[in-house]
Structure 1
Amino acid sequence: MAQYLISFDRGAMDHIPAADLPAVGRAAHAVIREAEAAGVFVFAGGFSDDDAEVEPAVVAVDGLVTDGPYPESKELIGGVTIVDVPTREEALKWAAKVAAACQCAQDVRKFMRDPELI
């Protein structure tokens, strides 16, 4: 099995009217419950702009902390789901379900495994 990160950019859901967000949340939770029942769910969560404690920060190799995202970063992650599935095709199927529920495109990336940490 391999773990895949399914994610979307911050602002990707901005097109959704506020009145529709509860339904989108219910749809997203239903996909997560389905992934749990299928035994492929690892983790899911989103990021908020409403709290100073969750604002991005960069910690340099010398320990210097800079508020904000990495300077070269063009986009910030808005939310993530991690699944543990046997194939890329299976990860893409789960990403399609997340995309439909969240009403926004999803990025899919396979985690590289470090053999010393497995």
Structure 2
Amino acid sequence: MAKYLISFPAAAMVVPDDQWNAVVRDSHAVIEEAKAAGAYVFAGGIDAGAAVVRVSADGTVTDGGYAAARPLDGGFAVLELPTREAAVAWAARLARACRCDQELRVFMFDPAS
């Protein structure tokens, strides 16, 4: 089985204020279903209020991320699934719950993990 990253950038989530409670409820319900199905690895969102730092091999810490990279934000779920089709189905469920399209990526297999 492969691990799939299902995610969206924060800017994609354009939800009217009166629908936020429903989005939270629905998205948490999908995650609970993934847990019950044995597919859940982890999920969460990037804390946009926390400072980004870069850490070098020698331990040097520099404020900020890579200048050439787009900011990393939004929500993420990692699910372990048997097929790409199953990953697409879970991504669609999360898209409905979050009221925004989801990006789907597969992690390359790491035999040491």
Common topology (TM > 0.5): yes
1:12 has 2:8 as partner: no
Instruction: Using the TM superposition, give the Cα deviation of residue 68 of structure 1 relative to its aligned residue in structure 2, in angstroms.
Output: 2.6
Summarize deviations over 1:6-40 as a string: whole Å, max 9, x none. 11112221x21222111100000010011111111
- The equivalent residue for 1:108 is 104
CA RMSD in angstroms comes to: 1.6
Structure 2: gaps spanning 5 or more residues? none
1:79 is aligned, of 67, 75, 79, to 75
TM-score normalized by structure 1? Answer: 0.85
8 A Cα contact 1:92 1:108, kept in partner? yes
Secondary structure, aligned partner of 1:31: helix
CA distance in 1, matches of 2:2, 2:9: 23
Secondary structure, aligned partner of 2:5: strand
The residue identity in structure 1 corresponding to 2:76 is V
- The equivalent residue for 2:62 is 66
Instruction: Using the TM superposition, give the Cα deviation of residue 62 of structure 1 relative to its aligned residue in structure 2, in angstroms.
Output: 4.1
Structure 1: gaps spanning 5 or more residues? none
- The equivalent residue for 2:43 is 44
The residue identity in structure 1 corresponding to 2:102 is Q
Secondary structure, aligned partner of 1:11: helix
The residue identity in structure 2 corresponding to 1:2 is A
8 A Cα contact 1:7 1:77, kept in partner? no
1:95 has 2:91 as partner: yes
TM-score normalized by structure 2? Answer: 0.88
Secondary structure, aligned partner of 2:54: strand
CA distance in 2, matches of 1:9, 1:37: 26
The residue identity in structure 1 corresponding to 2:8 is F
After the TM superposition, which segments of 4 or more aligned residues of structure 1 sit over 4 Å from their partners? none
